[in-house]
Structure 1
């Protein structure tokens, strides 16, 4: 029995999307937009995570994905400065897939690439406004390169696990952040959590390493690289030295878990490369219970992607 015309059309759409001449990150962004998976205010409001669905920039309409990257007046300011063919596209607030369909089918490859990179840049500009109170010129919507230019993806079939800890000294709390990504830089899972702990940064980093390691075990990862910005912790895990201090006992737990896994390594990276895990850890301080997202990430790190 053959495919229906709708199925064929849908298959053709996704093939064209993944065939765009753009970075994998840009194509992944468009895929999330076309599947209505971006964390706009409307989507978060529907999931009862925020109190208002209105656009954070214009405050006039619910912020659907198509509104955020296409029909909002702020987005249109950007599109109006692109190629003439793009400027002639009709403005409507339907699903992103309906907006992209004619573009992918009728535009030239270079024009499609321009649409893809512009849409992603508009989304980053929106996030910079929402999370950093910065709003860039329509002629040059700023994209973030803090991660893409420094974070190095792992080899195929290997997972990169970034971890960090954040300390709230006033309330004696520890925040833990873990991000697991694959060789294409796509999220496998993220974890944010908090726990009551004396404000000891070293112990906090060690506890974060233990939770990241146990998270890898829970996910069933067979080959992974742990990355953290605490050189002391990385060196302690790499070397077997018995210590009966609080940190030493936790390190021993980490080593025992790692000894039961197939392949692993741990390496030190500068804080500026570990910024994503750092933001997850800071967000973890506000979590009343552990937050684990599979193939997704919380809104607190959107402005970094």
Structure 2
């Protein structure tokens, strides 16, 4: 098996998880990558000599998300087997953000789908100041939905009404908009990316996710009710029956924002599995992706 992710630790105790799949043009969550990622997260979380974690990429782009050929195989898996795959990523990202060590992502290029979900599980995200870089969750454009925590972390970090609408359309952001939404800690020149992230890690030993902080309050039930009443009316008018991914994204956000993060992440996985039980979703993915993949 190729080494897709490497782990190195510097003299300050900062561990670098570097993605650089030697067999692909871009980094993706493949079956092999998921196994390596989960094992490395377990290793660094339990190593008391590690003071912080930096996620980087050795490629021009940061991360392209889930391997869509792997996702194509999800439709033939039992719900139980698919839960095992999805839960392995879900659990590793949750362990990463709750391991008691600061985590930062150094985003040097496009960061999309599951790659952006990984970055959202970090406590800080630094990106290169390049207007060509795209970040976000474009899954709905392929008839899919986020399944690695995106519906829950994105809506807790940024204005939830806006980013919910963006997820429903599969919209992405440039680094300037991502910074204005609170999705990036800072935007820096390319040569300063690693240094900025490492400096933050050393200066932030007690970093935690906003939704883990004492006193955190999400939107009220009344706010959610008002917003989703109007949203659901619009989806029905626009033919939500033909877009099951939109209905399930909306359900995951509506119910998930009323829960603590851990059960909310489980809820998202259940909605993702429900989506893969719909034969029309497979047809949509095949029509929009297969035959176009590099």
TMscore range, shorter length: under 0.3
With structure 2 as the length reference, what TM-score do the two structures score?
A: 0.22
Structure ID, larger Rg: 1
More helix by share: 2
With structure 1 as the length reference, what TM-score do the two structures score?
A: 0.22
